[in-house]
């Protein structure tokens, strides 16, 4: 899809990935960007830079995907839609009915509205959680769905609904399965990436990073800036009815991550190891980036050391905001 001169709606556009995608879109020759967000997870300050551009605005009537009349109204004259809105993993674990309402029913509302309003293209934010623990490495998109948590179940459902509506109504869409996303504006609500913020908290308080387990658990850490570009690539591409890993393909153990953070912060204390909890979180997940590169032209650019350094710099410049995010999560 050619995006020049087009109007886009970003549902959940004030969140971590959404707000960075807004900024990436503003670097393109687009006509208008409308952010549809209820500001439960997203934050207005995430859009402070973007809103200085007259092409970007917040949808003033609301931002709840469960309010179908407002959702449909927000799509008037829209060409393309990005759907980021969802409850996060641990919320889904604690409140599965709410997760069903938002992640499943809400996504159905988005899909249905796109059909009613003749939206040209939809980019859906799925998750690598659909895979569960890896049985092969790196995981290709054909990897079986070994998910064991409700968050992953809602994302699998979203993918299945999209495929059904594509085959019945011709909905033009692609889905993105993000690996472990990190970067500026990061909060404490990501079950996997919150470990980075907690390690930095410990160092700030004179301690050292804590790892639950032996540190061998490994993940694919991808910069939010790369995720934003993946969304642009997905909207521009001609691919349809398909899902793509958004990651680096690089394996990083928790020990390697902690060692990197210790080096970047000049921490003088060793890693603390504690017994791993029995939470239903995966222990090994690295995505193969080949299909995304070949079919939508996405390739990660941000190296982990550089990306973590940028996160640390952002964190140091936004200490009050980081404290608010931390306190909100603790409560």
Q: What is the pLDDT of residues 145-164, one digit of tens each?
A: 999 999 999 999 999 999 99
Burial of 162 (0-12, 13-18, 19+ CB in 10 A): buried
The conformational region for residue 207 under phi > 0 = left, psi -120 to 50 = alpha, else beta, is beta
Q: What's the average model confidence in pLDDT over 33-50?
A: 95
User: CA–CA separation, 12 vs 1, rounded Å?
Assistant: 22
pLDDT value of position 325:
66
CB 312 within 8 A of CB 264: yes
Q: Please, which contacts does 310-315 make with residues 24 or more away whose CB atoms are closer than 8 Å?
A: 310/183, 310/184, 310/223, 311/182, 311/183, 311/184, 311/186, 311/196, 312/200, 312/264, 312/265, 314/183, 314/184, 314/185, 315/197, 315/200
pLDDT value of position 282:
86
Q: Is 151 considered catalytic here?
A: yes
Burial of 306 (0-12, 13-18, 19+ CB in 10 A): exposed
Q: Is the confidence at residue 190, as pLDDT, over 70?
A: no
Q: Is the confidence at residue 305, as pLDDT, over 50?
A: yes
Percentage of the chain beyond pLDDT 70 is 95
Per-residue pLDDT tens digits for 124-141: 999 999 999 999 999 999
Q: Is the confidence at residue 47, as pLDDT, over 60?
A: yes
Q: What is the mean pLDDT of the chain?
A: 94
Which domains, from first to last, does the chain contain?
7-180+222-248+283-301 (3.40.50.720)
pLDDT value of position 157:
98
Per-residue pLDDT tens digits for 102-112: 999 999 999 99
pLDDT value of position 90:
86
pTM of the complete model = 0.95
* Of 59, 151, 244, 298, catalytic: 151
Q: What's the average model confidence in pLDDT over 80-105?
A: 96
User: CA–CA separation, 162 vs 177, rounded Å?
Assistant: 14
**Confidence category of residue 330, pLDDT binned at 50, 70, 90:** very low
Q: Is the confidence at residue 331, as pLDDT, over 90?
A: no
Please give the full DSSP string across 179-219, using - where no structure is assigned: -EEE-TT--S--TTTHHHHHHHHHHHTT---EEESSS--EE
- Helical (H) or strand (E) element with 300: none
User: CA–CA separation, 252 vs 270, rounded Å?
Assistant: 19
Per-residue pLDDT tens digits for 225-282: 999 999 999 999 999 999 999 999 999 999 999 999 999 999 999 999 998 765 657 8
**Confidence category of residue 192, pLDDT binned at 50, 70, 90:** low
DSSP one-letter code for 271: P
């Amino acid at each position: 899809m050619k995006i020049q001169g087009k109007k886009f709606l970003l549902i959940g556009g004030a969140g971590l990935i959404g707000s960075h995608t807004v900024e990436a879109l503003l670097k393109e020759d687009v006509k208008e960007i409308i952010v549809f967000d209820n500001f439960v997870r997203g934050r207005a300050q995430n859009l402070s830079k973007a809103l200085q551009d007259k092409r970007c605005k917040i949808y003033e009537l609301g931002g709840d995907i469960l309010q179908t009349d407002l959702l449909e109204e927000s799509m008037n004259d829209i060409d393309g839609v990005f759907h980021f809105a969802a409850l996060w993993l641990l919320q889904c674990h604690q409140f599965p009915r709410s997760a069903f309402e938002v992640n499943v029913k809400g996504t159905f509302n988005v899909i249905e509205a796109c059909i009613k309003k003749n939206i040209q293209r939809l980019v859906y934010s799925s998750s690598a959680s659909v895979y569960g623990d890896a049985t092969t490495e790196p995981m290709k998109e054909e990897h079986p769905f070994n998910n064991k948590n409700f968050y992953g179940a809602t994302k699998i459902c979203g993918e299945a609904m999209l495929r059904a509506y594509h085959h019945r109504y011709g909905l033009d869409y692609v889905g993105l399965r993000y690996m472990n996303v990190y970067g500026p504006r990061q909060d404490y609500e990501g079950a996997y990436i919150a470990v980075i913020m907690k390690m930095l908290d410990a160092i700030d308080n004179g301690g050292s990073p804590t790892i639950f387990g032996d540190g061998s658990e490994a993940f694919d850490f991808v910069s939010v800036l790369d995720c934003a570009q993946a969304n642009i690539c997905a909207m521009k591409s001609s691919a349809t009815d398909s899902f793509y890993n958004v990651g680096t393909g690089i394996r990083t153990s928790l020990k390697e991550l902690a060692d990197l953070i210790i080096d970047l912060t000049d921490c003088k204390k060793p890693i603390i190891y504690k017994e791993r909890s029995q939470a239903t979180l995966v222990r090994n997940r690295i995505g193969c980036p080949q299909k995304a590169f070949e079919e939508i032209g996405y390739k990660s650019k941000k190296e982990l050391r550089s990306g973590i350094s940028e996160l640390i710099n952002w964190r140091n410049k936004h200490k009050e905001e980081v404290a608010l995010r931390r306190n909100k999560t603790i409560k």
